[in-house]
Structure formats: structure tokens, C-alpha cells
Copies of this chain bind each other. A is one copy, B any other.
Amino acid sequence: MPKTLKKIAVLTSGGDSPGMNAAIRSVVRTCAYHSIDCIGVYRGYEGLIEGDFKEMNARSVRGIINKGGTILKSARSKEFRTKEGRQKAYDSLVKANVDGLVVIGGDGSFTGALIFNQEFGFPVMGIPGTIDNDIVGTTHTLGFDTALNTVVDAIDKIRDTASSHNRLFFVEVMGRDVGHIALNAGIAGGAEEILIPEENLGLERLVESLNRSRKSGKSSSIVIVAEGDKIGKNIFQLKDYVDENMEGYDVRVSVLGHMQRGGAPSCFDRVLASRMGVKAVESLLEGKTNFMVGLLNSKMELTPLDNAIKGKTKINLELLRVSDIMST
């Protein structure tokens, strides 16, 4: 492990999320603050393999803190999954005199970083960037808060039209394995039901619940459905089921889609990104490697990468209960 780093590389990998640019900016400026060189790597591990690098200084990252997406672009790399690919990446880094790497991405990206370190002893540090909030070791991943606001804003709009027409809306939000977005945005959007991968409500109970809600005088309803919900039907099949089994509702479907990944990051995500970038660079400078920076109990903390990639964060059971009570 190098005593003193002289040049750090930063890349974004996997699905993009709002706040990635703010994190890149923070990594670059923290390097500048410590008089360390910094390079940006384009297109994640692909660019690492190809040596697609760019020197970055404090000015290079001016005006990006409020931009969605990632100026370094992101990609999934098949080649990096091979030993040969990783060897090329290592060679590129050595050739460019880089001696530390910050990876902004999700658990797939961290797995790659960990293997890379194990093979070449190259110092790596992870920053959790994904809207799904499914990574162990941080209460919030970068982009989660922004995505929630985007989803809630969309639900508010759909509510306008739903309640003007006495309609039932199924609204699909992101979350293939975890229901964090669905659960939080569902509560905030005042959803009548929330279907998540962690819990199988069952179709009969869903219909029962909707009937109960209608009897209580609600003329319109919104059901939030996570992509990976456990009922095991896609959202259009859900609609068909309800169409057949409930009368009097005009059922509509809305799939929010990729819009959820974009947009100017919220204040929360910009501050989080700024803190994470500082912590990641300074941890590398302290000689640490194979950690992910995260927010735990309001503080920046390190979690070993091999813990971060094990499993997904659990749904907060208190929130499930709050959701039930609110849809009384």
C-alpha cells in the first residue's frame, strides 16, 4: 500500500444517479485541496481499460454540482469482468501514474473494484451512487433523495387527474429488488396501497383494501408498484385483474421510467456527495483501501467493500406501519 498518493482517478459506473457530478466535483476539489493530481476516467471500467482519461482540476468541475447524470459518462463493461480486461485497466493506471481509484456506483461496480484490488493491490474506495438506496453501509445512497422528489412530484400530478375523474392509478416506480423508493414515495404521495418486492400483499387483499378505501368515501386511488413487486404480475396484468374484479373504477397505468434517474440533485444529495467525495479521497490519503464511504448516524463512516456488496438493505418496518396507518 503506497504511503503517499500522488494521483487519484475517479470514475462513475453502472446506472447513473443525480449527485454523481457533485461527487466527481468533490473528489477533484479535495485532490486539489491536498495538492494531489486527479484524473477523470470516461465510461467507467471501459474507459479504465482503454486509458480514456482526462486531467481534472478545480476549474474542470465548475458548474456541475447541479447537473444530473455524469460528465464522465457511465457504462457496463464486460471486458472488466475478465482477468485480461482488468490487467489492461491496471496497466493504464500505472502508465498514467495513478495510485488510487475512487469508484462511484452501485454494488456491481464495487464488486469489480474489490476484485481489482485483490488482484493488483490497487487502492480503491467506493462512493454509493444509485437511486435504489439498496447498499449496506449507508442510510442514503447518492441520488435516492432526488429520485424520491421526482417520483412524488409525478404522483402529485397524477393525483390531480385521478381525483378529477374518480380513477384508480397504478404507478410503477424503480426498484427491482428493493422497495425503498416505492415505500417512501408512496407515503409521501399519499398512496392508498404500496406494492414492494419485500412483501406479498396478494391480489385478493389488494382488491379488498381498494374496496374498503372506496367505501370510506375515497373516489380515487393511487397504488404505487415497485418494478419488482412480489405479486409477480407486471403492472398491466395488475390493471387487468382489477378491471375484471372490481366494478366502477376506471383503472389507468403509469410507468414513470427513466425520468427517475435524472434531474438536478436535491440539496440533500449535493451535500451528501460533497461529504462523500472528501471522505473518499482523504481515506485513500490515509492509506485505507477497499472501503465504501457512507452516511451512518449522520456521520461519514467507512464500510468494508465486501460488507457493502453483501445483500441489500432491509425495508424499514416502521415505514410499512406508517403507510398502513396513513391509508386508514
Binding site for B on A (CB under 8 A): 12, 15-16, 18, 20, 25-26, 29-30, 32-33, 58-59, 62-63, 65-70, 73-75, 139, 145, 148-152, 154, 156-166, 169, 184-185, 187-190, 216-218, 252-264, 266-268, 270-271, 274-275, 278, 297-300, 316, 318-319, 321-322, 325-326, 328
Contact = CB atoms under 8 A, between A and B. Distances in A.
Given A270-B188, A326-B26, A254 B258 contact: yes
A143 to B, nearest CB: 11
Given A152-B270, A270-B152, A275-B319, A262 B161 contact: yes
A70 B166 CA distance: 12
Contacts of A149: 149, 266-267
Given A69-B160, A187-B270, A253-B257, 4 more contacts: A12-B164, A149-B266, A268-B268, A278-B321
Given A33-B328, A271-B184, A73 B157 contact: no
Contacts of A254: 255, 257-259
B74 A164 contact: yes
Contacts of A274: 187-188, 322, 326
Contacts of A73: 163-166
6 contacts: A33-B325, A62-B218, A70-B164, A73-B164, A158-B258, A158-B259
A52 to B, nearest CB: 13
A261 B162 CA distance: 10
A62 B327 CA distance: 10
A262 B65 contact: no
